[in-house]
Amino acid sequence: MALGVAAVEAGHRVRYFTAAELVETLYRALADNSVGKVLDALLRNDLIICDELGFAPLDDTGTQHRCSLNPSLA
């Protein structure tokens, strides 16, 4: 959290999600066919903080969408 606060104070755009919130956001976007627009909006941030990654099990689709934000998570 301190990294996020420091980034905001330095003028950067920061977005915080729990892993479950991020996956839910991506699933809703997939359902209403706006996933490209949602990903573009997310990627306009300078920093995306995704908390609780180890707590939320992801199915294949959730993992695929998470990895579309950061391919090194594959």
Flag whether the pTM goes above 0.85. no
pLDDT digit of tens for each residue in the chain (74 aa)? 789 999 999 999 999 999 889 889 989 999 999 999 999 999 999 999 988 877 666 667 666 665 666 655 54
- What long-range pairs does 24-27 form, CB within 8 A, spacing at least 24? 26/62, 26/65, 26/66, 27/61, 27/62, 27/65
